[in-house]
Structure 1
Amino acid sequence: MTRNASSSPSSEFQGRHVLITGAAGGIGQALALQLLQDGARVSALDLDAQGLDHLRASGGADAAPQLWTRALDVSESGAVNAAIEAAEQALGPIDHLACVAGVLQMGRVTELSDEQWSRTMAINLGGVFNACRAVARGMVARQRGSIVNVSSNAATAPRAAMSAYAASKAAVTQFSRCLALELAEHGVRCNTVSPGSTDTEMQRAMWRQGSSRETVIEGDAKAFRLGIPLRKIATPDDVVDAILFLLSDRAGHITLHDMRVDGGATLDQ
């Protein structure tokens, strides 16, 4: 669901090409729909082909010429490279990149399988590397562009039974800083948005495994987990607003930044 058009600057992304990974649901879908509403050209990548169809339907007939989609696995570099080439042929050079695709893997270290660990790293970190590498090459050549990678506040706050996810997101955060340094001399910015608990299917899956909205807000001393000072769960739009700001020209002098969107849950570590 998109917000009223008056609630966001409708001109800053007008005609710009934004590529989004993980666009079929949650934060990625909310971002895609908002950008379409703001007049952007959107390339949407996701493994979930049905979700991409839903995105296209939700965008409406008016958005159809502005939206290009492809179902793929972001951990496969060849597929990502081909998709980015096709997206630029369809909608023009990519001005902005938002890497939102990710998977949640729960489980204690002693219980994780090789496949669970490797798959988490391949998607959460490898997918970011694949997309950033391919898109950044064009941005460097054009000497302009901006990138936002979605990490997590779990990148800095240790959480029991979340080692694979937290480690992959910590790597994304540091990778983004290194990339930002490399791209700065070319006029290209790279920043990170780190959400906390957000009302998406990923969060609801955690609640189905024994947690709850109330537990997250209140905190859990036995699990060494702080609560949320603002006493609410983020909405996808809360995170989208942060991504849009860092992608936009309003953040033209911001790079290497990690923006927390967690209601204070990590006490701004």
Structure 2
Amino acid sequence: MHPGISDRHALVTGAGHGIGAAVARALLGSGARVTATDVDPAALGALADELGPGLRTHVADVADPAAVEAAFVAGEAAHGPLDILVNVAGVLRPGRVVDCSDEDWAATFAVNATGVFHACRSAARRMVARRSGAIVTVASNAAGVPRAGMAAYAASKAAAAMFTKCLGLELAGHGIRCNVVAPGSTDTRMQRDLWADEHGADAVVAGDLGTYRVGIPLGRIAAPSDVADAVLFLASDAARHITMHDLYVDGGATLRA
């Protein structure tokens, strides 16, 4: 159990799959009341069936500011004032820059960067009035090191990370902490969609000199729960004196470049 999680209300975006679902499980397992949002109603329904009445679900696209605000209103109606926001919603459209369409670029930023802005703005307006709260944005280690074929994704995650740190500076005087978790390769549906075959995990761990990509020194890709544990720590009172921090959870893959 993490101090300061039990009986608090946490809203998690992108909670239908992967890291977002793992974060919702971890928060609920530590005694939080959780509002889970996603664009996938079927995934939210399955998560609700798994986790039970402590979970409130709300279908919302983080790219739509009205839908985001409606999710916060519904969440607070069910679970009371918001204490924790975790931004997990994200999309990946891989491809080289010369092949990247305007629509691919815009859609990537709409979710990965602007979606974080929408959720943080709704959360911050509530938290400032109450002078407490914690915000954690799940970005990516790609935000800190160049990746071939992932320029739009990496740039959008870098934008989300820096936005979260700037927000943390603005909100520090109100007792609100804002931090970033930067996962590396994690065993999610998004990761598996990049694999050419059943040996995809081995290839990720080994790295690829042809694309100037370092492997993973710890010799394994992350489980979603590894990332969720880092989120839980930064959202909890155990991290009460930590803000504007970027915590890499990548097995050493970026050599902390």
Instruction: Answer whether TM exceeds 0.5 for this pair.
Output: yes
Aligned counterparts of 2:154 and 2:31: Cα–Cα separation in 1: 35
1:101 aligns with 2:89: yes
Shift of 1:38: 2.0
Aligned counterparts of 2:96 and 2:198: Cα–Cα separation in 1: 15
1:49 aligns with 2:37: no
Pairing 1:15-54 to 2, within 5 Å after superposition:
15-54=7-46
Shift of 1:268: 1.4
User: Match for residue 191 of structure 1?
Assistant: 179
Query: Residues 127 and 214 of structure 1: is their aligned pair in 2 closer, same or farther, counting only changes over 3 Å?
Result: same
Aligned counterparts of 2:172 and 2:2: Cα–Cα separation in 1: 27
Cα deviation 1:146-204 (Å, max 9, x = unaligned)? 00000000001111110110000010111011000000000000000000000000100
Pairing 1:54-203 to 2, within 5 Å after superposition:
54-59=46-51, 63-64=52-53, 66-203=54-191
Cα deviation 1:122-160 (Å, max 9, x = unaligned)? 000111000000011110100000000000000011111
Aligned counterparts of 1:96 and 1:171: Cα–Cα separation in 2: 21
Alpha-carbon contact 2:2-2:232 (below 8 Å) kept:
no
Aligned counterparts of 2:161 and 2:198: Cα–Cα separation in 1: 28
Alpha-carbon contact 1:10-1:39 (below 8 Å) kept:
no
Shift of 1:10: 6.2
Unaligned residue ranges in structure 1 (runs of 5+) = 1-8
Aligned counterparts of 1:165 and 1:171: Cα–Cα separation in 2: 10
User: Match for residue 261 of structure 1?
Assistant: 249
Shift of 1:11: 6.0
Alpha-carbon contact 1:11-1:39 (below 8 Å) kept:
no
Amino acid of the structure 2 residue aligned with 1:188: I
User: Match for residue 5 of structure 1?
Assistant: none
TM-score (norm 1): 0.93
Aligned residue for 1:206, secondary structure, equals coil
Amino acid of the structure 2 residue aligned with 1:218: A
Shift of 1:211: 8.3
Alpha-carbon contact 2:3-2:238 (below 8 Å) kept:
no
RMSD of aligned residue pairs (Cα, Å) = 1.4
Query: Residues 179 and 92 of structure 1: is their aligned pair in 2 closer, same or farther, counting only changes over 3 Å?
Result: same
Aligned residue for 1:130, secondary structure, equals helix
Amino acid of the structure 1 residue aligned with 2:90: G
Alpha-carbon contact 2:12-2:86 (below 8 Å) kept:
yes
Aligned counterparts of 1:33 and 1:14: Cα–Cα separation in 2: 13
Cα deviation 1:240-262 (Å, max 9, x = unaligned)? 01000000000000000000000
2:5 pairs, out of 3, 13, 19, with: 13
Query: Residues 231 and 240 of structure 1: is their aligned pair in 2 closer, same or farther, counting only changes over 3 Å?
Result: same
Amino acid of the structure 1 residue aligned with 2:24: A
Q: Which has the higher contact order (CA 8 A, sep 6+)?
A: 2
Amino acid of the structure 2 residue aligned with 1:194: A
Aligned counterparts of 2:202 and 2:162: Cα–Cα separation in 1: 31
Amino acid of the structure 2 residue aligned with 1:147: I
Query: Residues 134 and 211 of structure 1: is their aligned pair in 2 closer, same or farther, counting only changes over 3 Å?
Result: farther
User: Match for residue 204 of structure 2?
Assistant: 216
User: Match for residue 6 of structure 1?
Assistant: none
Aligned counterparts of 2:2 and 2:156: Cα–Cα separation in 1: 34
Amino acid of the structure 2 residue aligned with 1:106: P
Q: Tell me the percent identity.
A: 54
Alpha-carbon contact 1:197-1:233 (below 8 Å) kept:
yes
Aligned residue for 1:207, secondary structure, equals coil
